[in-house]
Structures are given as C-alpha cells and as structure tokens.
Amino acid sequence: MQYKFYNFAANLSHVILKLIIMDIINTELPGLKIIVPKVFGDARGYFFESYNENVMAGAGIKIVFRQDNQSFSKYGVIRGLHFQLNPYSQTKLIRVLEGTIYDVVLDLRKGSPTFGKWFGLELSAENKRQVYIPQGFAHGFSVLSEQTIILYKCDNFYHPQSEGGVLFNDPALGIDWKIDAGKAIISDKDKMLPTFDRVETNFDYHA
C-alpha cells in the first residue's frame, strides 16, 4: 500500500507540474481558446512546450492532429476567412514563429449563442500565444510585421473540394484588420468570397 500511495503522489506532482506549463483561456466564443505557454528563460535563451497532449486533454481538448502547415506572408497580406465543410472540417492550433499577425475567427455553427460573431487577437513570435480553433469556425489573419511565418496544426487533411470562405471585408461583420486599405494585399480568390449572409455551411453547435 505504501508503494501505491507513493506512486499516486508522484503522478499527482507530475500532473500539477504539467498544469503550470501553459495557461488555457476560454474566450467569449464557446470552444475557442487562447493558449499561453510558460516560458523558461535564462542567459542562454528560452524553452517552452508549445504542445502537450496530456495538458490539452485535461482542458477538454482531445484532438488528434494529422497535418502541420507553415506559411510565409509579407506586411499587409490578409488571408481569409477560410474553412472546410464537414466531413472535412478542420480543428486548428495556430502559432507564429516570426513576426506578428492579427488573427480572426468567425463562428459559423448554427445554434451557437455566438453564431455570426468574430474574435480577434494578436499572435506573435514574441508573445508566443496560440489560438485553438474548433471545427465550425472560419479563420483568417492579417500581417502586421514586415513579414511573418505561421505554423498551424490541423486534425483533418486539406480537401480542396470542401473549401469555403467568407468575404474578409463584409460590412455586416465590420472586422478591423488593422491594415490601411491602400496597403492591403488580398488574393483574387479571397476577394470573390461570399458575404456572411450568403455563405453556405453545414456546421451545427453542440454545447
């Protein structure tokens, strides 16, 4: 019995240690979370865990990520708002390796108390914050620094036939991308996306 008690105490200490490795913060959009890692720095540099499956599971995030993507963009680029329809919808975990972006997430889940609402925050290599985006959201970002490199994990593979999107400058959404209109760089494809009231989705909200 003493051995089992000691083993339990050791496991408990391990769990407590893991819980302080990162803070997982809820947002006003249900399911959307901000992840703030604990950074250990000294004269040599720094170390932090950017992803820990056990910690995520303890916060209710039980996802198997299947694909990592990396993108490079210059100042003024606006990408989005993008999504993939079910059954190829993607959960994403976004972080910035270089530079700064303004990250925007739009709730497309029918029945959600925040359906049609958006949330934005700055992600940077300096603040090391990440955003966890469940399935059923559209995602986009603008580049605020001279250049940026973004890494994001996905729980489903890219499926071009299931691609969808919402127009980045839809007046009904009123998103401030923090880029002067004359300096914005947008792809022709993104300029042709439908407004929110005309977009077709198949996402349902599950509390």
Provide the annotated active-site residues: 82, 152
Q: What length is written for the chain?
A: 207
CB 166 within 8 A of CB 138: yes
CB 45 within 8 A of CB 141: no
State how far the Cα of 108 lies from the Cα of 116, in Å rounded to an integer: 6
Q: CA-based angle 121:186:125, to the nearest 5?
A: 35
CB 190 within 8 A of CB 83: no
In terms of Cα–Cα distance, which of 62, 53, 43 is closest to 21?
A: 53
